[in-house]
Amino acid sequence: MAKSPENEHPVKAFGYAAKDTSGHLAPFNFSRRATGEKDVTFKVLYCGICHSDLHSIRNEWGDAMYPQVPGHEIVGVVTEVGSKVTKFKVGDKVGVGTLVGSCGSCDSCKDDFENYCLQFIPTYNSIYHDGTMNYGGYSDIMVADEHFVVGIPDNLPLDAVAPLLCAGTTVYSPMKYYGLNKPGLHIAVVGLGGLGHIAVKFAKAMGMKVTVIDVDPAKKQEAVERLGADDFFLSQDQEQMQARVATMDGIIDAVPVVHPLQPLLLLLKTQGKLVLVGIPDKPLELPAFPLLKGRKLVGGSLMGGLTEVQEMINFASKHNITADIELVKMDYVNTALKRLEKADVRYRFVIDIGNSLKPAA
């Protein structure tokens, strides 16, 4: 049916959950709330595996609640909508990313940056407005307020678009905000991984010159020949670094481990911008003098607001941009997480929920 009576019993759901800090995922039966008047319910077909899922299920950030169903790169097809839903209808292709709620009244929310609301509600490992636990996309069905749902254009394959809901907006948002989206600019992407490869694709589509910086020489061919980067060099090669001093307008730093920032700051032109999007587990050292010398800026960015997420998806549709993925079955998820920990994936795992998640007997 297209409209929900909004007084039905909660919807039975099935997924995989972590029960403790071991992070091992096992089959789990649970309930979603009944479709409310502003809710969209959809059958989950694919869900990306994000590195933050690994941190969360193991309680590495110290805020884990169990049982925990991870997943915030969720795509599928609408099966039911509430009576006050205006943006979606049954049969639409949709997605839910990193958040499912916010206060709706603070300056951040009013400016369409719900991701910076002090009361924003993550898609999983969180409590919803009604006091119930939020479960993520490693499951067969999803219910979310339409404000936190985005439409997926027909030309984008659902499996390969799923990671854009987190990784895509994580790099698109700072490019836009910091003005690193103009044709002719020269930017560097540090770390050719799940975030970095999408940043390269977006930057090239925006008409910029792109240099990839990594520690693995084997990634040069991938960066230049397949992703279209204009240049590639190794961060540990001092001669190559020195040859490129003061040549970059901006840098998108996607490295998720501790690393020195001073060499990157030296690559920036006067008034250049270094933007951090990776999340190292320990503080980084930030030297002051390289900032002062060139009036350079170090900034950060976390996800994106819902208007920006939809804008990013539409940009990806226009330029046929998707993530490079390895599609896996649900029962492979624990192996995939172990491989992810070792960076053994090019570049994002996506779970084929629709074809491989089978409810327990």
Q: Is the pLDDT of residue 2 over 90?
A: no
pLDDT at 7: 46
Asked if the domains 11-166+304-352 and 168-300 are classified in one and the same CATH topology, the answer is no
Q: What is the pLDDT of residues 166-222, one digit of tens each?
A: 999 999 999 999 999 999 999 999 999 999 999 999 999 999 999 999 999 999 999
Confidence tier at 1 by pLDDT (50, 70, 90): very low
pLDDT of 248 above 60: yes
SS3 state of residue 152: coil
Q: Which CATH number fits domain 168-300: 3.20.20.210, 3.50.50.100, 3.40.50.1820, 3.40.50.720?
A: 3.40.50.720
* Residue pLDDT, tens place only, 55-73: 999 999 899 999 999 999 9
Which residues have CB under 8 Å from 21's CB, separation 6+?
Answer: 58, 59, 64
Q: Locate the domains of the chain by residue range.
A: 11-166+304-352, 168-300
Contacts of 110 (CB under 8 A, 6+ apart): none
Residue 8: pLDDT band by 50, 70, 90 thresholds?
low
Q: What pLDDT score was predicted for residue 25?
A: 98
CB distance 44 to 346 below 8 Å: no
State pLDDT tens for residues 329-359. Answer: 999 999 999 999 998 999 999 999 999 998 7
Does residue 33 sit in helix, strand or coil?
Answer: coil
